[in-house]
């Protein structure tokens, strides 16, 4: 790849370091989109024994690339995101991907198609872990950073996406237990 193009791509992804999410870290600062994606990829790696028939390398790619649109739009929390926001983000991603060299354009467009369809075990696992990373991060943050609506959301977020497998259902149940314990201590 031509060096200028390569550096331009890296510049786009650098924005994910700067763009913060709604979530706070355990040290009290807002987490970046890049930090969320990094830990999500780590989560995928460490569940590979639970999913021996799943291409974990593909799941990790989904984890690393899924929030690319937020390099252009910033993070919009799921409880505020509208269909218009999603369409704008999707359009920005596709425009960016269409500017890539053919090999990368083809691979990444297919990856985004797969994530949107949620038909493969890889896409389902990615989506469940993505939802659970947000729940886990909230559990790690001080409860004073939670909005009032997050008390209920913490217990319901990810229910649908985690229902596809026993392991992710058990992960959701354990995260709910931790959330309830945290709320009871407030």
Q: CATH number of the domain at 30, please.
A: 1.10.3210.10
Domain span at residue 85 reads 3-184
pLDDT of residue 120: 98
pLDDT of residue 77: 86
CA distance 181 to 186: 9
Q: Helix 56-65 vs helix 33-45: angle between axes, to the nearest 10 degrees?
A: 170
Domains: count for the chain? 1
- 24's enclosing H/E stretch is strand 20-24
CA distance 39 to 76: 19
Question: Would you report the helix, strand and coil content of the chain in percent, each value rounded to 5?
Answer: 70, 5, 25
pLDDT (tens place) for every residue of the chain, 186 residues total: 999 999 999 999 999 999 999 999 999 999 999 999 999 999 999 999 999 999 999 999 999 999 999 999 999 988 889 999 999 999 999 999 999 999 999 999 999 999 999 999 999 999 999 999 999 999 999 999 999 999 999 999 999 999 999 999 999 999 999 999 999 987
CA distance 126 to 6: 27
The owner of tokens 């995101």 is 81
């Amino acid at each position: 790849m031509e060096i200028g193009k390569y550096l331009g791509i890296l510049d786009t992804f650098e924005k994910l370091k700067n763009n913060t999410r709604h979530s706070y870290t355990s040290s009290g600062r807002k987490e970046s989109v890049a930090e969320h994606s990094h830990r999500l990829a780590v989560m995928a790696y460490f569940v590979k024994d639970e999913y021996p028939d799943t291409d974990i390398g593909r799941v990790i790619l989904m984890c690393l690339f899924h929030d690319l649109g937020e390099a252009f739009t910033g993070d919009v929390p799921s409880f505020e995101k509208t269909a218009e926001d999603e369409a704008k983000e999707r359009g920005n991603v596709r425009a960016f991907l269409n500017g890539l060299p053919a090999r990368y354009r083809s691979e990444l467009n297919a990856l985004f198609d797969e994530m949107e369809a949620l038909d493969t075990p890889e896409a389902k696992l990615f989506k469940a872990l993505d939802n659970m990373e947000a729940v886990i991060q909230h559990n790690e943050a001080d409860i004073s950073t939670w909005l009032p609506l997050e008390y209920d959301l913490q217990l319901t977020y990810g229910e649908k996406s985690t229902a596809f497998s026993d392991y992710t259902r058990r992960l959701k149940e354990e995260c709910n237990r931790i959330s309830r314990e945290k709320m009871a201590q407030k």
